[in-house]
Amino acid sequence: QENMTMQTVLRDALEKLGLAAPSGSDVRAFSVLSDIAETVIAEAIEPYFFKHFDLHRALGSDTDPNEIWGDRDGEVCKLPGDSPRLTLQDILNRKLASYQRESAQGVRAPHAELSYSDLHNVPMLLIVTEKARMGDTFPHSLVSLD
């Protein structure tokens, strides 16, 4: 409960500091996500970062604004200029489709959910509590962990 309150306070602070678009809009400078034991990332993250934030175009180049950097198979690399948009919703839809295909074939697959590694390039404060770190794979774009 305390961590969810921190999430609410930080999200409100973004608005008061002008780092979020006026009320009624989802656009924010960065996401604030509090992940406690049973949090489902797709439901807890702000709608803008789930539906609209382009993960491929999140990393720009200081020297060439047309360069696109993103994640390809777990590696950060330069992407072709005509790379399609990629959102967290797209990633979840791909995972759901894969899960459905494998389930139809009788393959026992893990649930289709977003993971920390899917948050690559999302600017965010991630508050993680009541979870063991063993086995969690954090995104390559993670700057610090405390």
Residues 6+ apart with CB under 8 A from 75: none
User: What is the value of pTM for the model shown?
Assistant: 0.74
Q: Which residues of 21-58 are buried (b: 16+ CB within 10 A; e: fewer)?
A: eeeeeeebeebbbbbbeebebbebbbebbbeebebbbb
Q: What is the pLDDT of residue 64?
A: 67
Look at residues 77, 27, 68, 72 and name the one whose alpha carbon lies nearest to residue 50.
Answer: 27
Mean pLDDT of 12-19: 79
- Quickly state the pLDDT bin for 86 (edges 50, 70, 90): confident
Helix (H) or strand (E) holding 10: helix 2-16
Answer whether 44's CB lies under 8 Å from 14's CB: no
More confident residue, 54 or 21: 54
Question: By percentage, how much of the chain surpasses pLDDT 70?
Answer: 72
Q: What is the pLDDT of residue 90?
A: 94
Q: What is the pLDDT of residue 4?
A: 62
Mean pLDDT of 91-120: 84
Question: By percentage, how much of the chain surpasses pLDDT 90?
Answer: 9
